[in-house]
Amino acid sequence: MQFGTFSIGDVNANPVTGQPRTEQERLKDMAAIAVKAEEAGFDVFATGEHHNPPFVSSSPTTHLAYIAAKTSRIILSTSTTLITTNDPVKIAEDYAVLQHLADGRVDLMLGRGNTGPVYPWFGKDVRHGIPLAIENYALLHRLWREEYVDWEGRFRTPLQSFTSVPRPLDGIPPFVWHGSVRSPEIAEQAAYYGDGFFVNNLFMPKDHFRRLIGIYRERYAHYGHGSPEQAIVGAGGMIFVRKNSQDAVREYRPYFDNSPMAGHGPTMEEYMEQTPLIVGSPQQVIDKALTFREHYGDYQRQLFNIDTGGVPLKAVLETLDLLGEEVIPVLRKEFDALRPSHVPEAPTHASRLAERDATVTFVDADKEESK
């Protein structure tokens, strides 16, 4: 089981003190969060991609490359990379460069984005959201697997004998997760390719996400990648933790109430009851995170969002420490004990490399025997 933290990269002022943050502070804070996450025993750090204020996260691979240089173990990922408005050729190149520099510690999560105007800003039409996601990924998938690509599609200029460079590290493309908040088409896409499927698990009742995961698992099996329970599922979740739950609730409330996504609607308590939001003690986090497994089945990656809505760096780092000390070790043990042996871990560069080499060796051995 992988645990990680993901940030959307908002530069909101601290709602308690009113203190604003500069863009540079926020970018460096996000790097500090990634470094702390690695120290605290997390497996993944992921950044969002946005192209409008109040966000700073417009260039994930630049940011992640900087973080790669400051870390040695943690997997660098995205939440999400916009497959609709980015050129798939540039995604292929950017993430391959990152993969080489980070020694394979890279995967990415593709999403369509949630900001309508981004489409026209990048010369696209929001009504093509799903078709863009499908066509662009079909091209990206080939660029990472075929050395010479001939391509003609509806949205991009054609390619003749194009080679995306650098080639993926060790010939193994970064693992891809497909993120979806509401589209069954994306669950179908993830299943078709045998890629991972990630539900952001934010601000919506769990039943909603369970339906999407159900579609993905069923279709994953339909396309012959394994049984439904072997499909690769990830979930997000918003979280704030303190030693005792009253402190967590008191300290987090102003950030929640001012959250650009959650604030001014249902109360924090209603969100905690109706959605995956967790604000409480380490034990409460453990108890609730275990219910995610009951809803979604054994899954491979849990990412927590901690820093949205102007939560100051210090509070984020404290939360990471507490999660690393008291929550993740317990959850790791529980999840691993509950997971049947035929359900795989999330793929990593190392595991996929080992798997490929094992397959190659097996083929060679076969040849030897037949001689």
Partner 1 sequence: MSARQPQRLAVVSAGLSVPSSTRLLADRLTEAVRAELAGAGREVDVQVVELRDLAADIAKNFASGFPSPDLADAIESVTSADGLIAVTPVFTASYSGLFKSFFDVIDNDALTGKPVLAAATGGTARHSLALEHALRPLFAYLRAVVVPTAVYAASEDWGGHGDPLTDTLPTRIARAGRELAALMRDLPGGAARADDGTDVVPFAQQLAALRPE
CB of 63 to partner 1, least distance (A): 28
| Cα–Cα distance, 160 to 250 (Å, whole number) | 59
Residues that bind partner 1 (CB under 8 A): 130-131, 134-135, 138, 152-154, 184-185, 187-189, 191-192, 203-205, 208, 211-212, 215, 219, 262-266, 270-271, 274-275
Whether residue 80 is preceded by a cis peptide bond, meaning omega within 30 degrees of 0, is: yes
| Cα–Cα distance, 165 to 174 (Å, whole number) | 14
Nearer to partner 1, 185 or 334 (CB): 185
CB of 263 to partner 1, least distance (A): 7
Nearer to partner 1, 153 or 312 (CB): 153
Helix (H, G, I), strand (E, B) or coil at 289: helix
Element holding 211 (H helix, E strand)? helix 206-222
Nearer to partner 1, 84 or 99 (CB): 84
Which residues are paired to 303 by β-bridges? 4
Nearer to partner 1, 223 or 362 (CB): 223
CB of 209 to partner 1, least distance (A): 11
Nearer to partner 1, 194 or 312 (CB): 194
CB of 194 to partner 1, least distance (A): 12
Task: Output the six-digit token pair for 139.
Answer: 């091209």
Q: What's the burial of 247, exposed, middle or buried (CB within 10 Å: 0-12/13-18/19+)?
A: middle
CB of 34 to partner 1, least distance (A): 29
CB of 193 to partner 1, least distance (A): 8
In whole angstroms, how far apart are CA 319 and each of 206, 316, 338?
24, 5, 26
Nearer to partner 1, 51 or 156 (CB): 156
Which residues have CB under 8 Å from 122's CB, separation 6+? 51, 85, 86
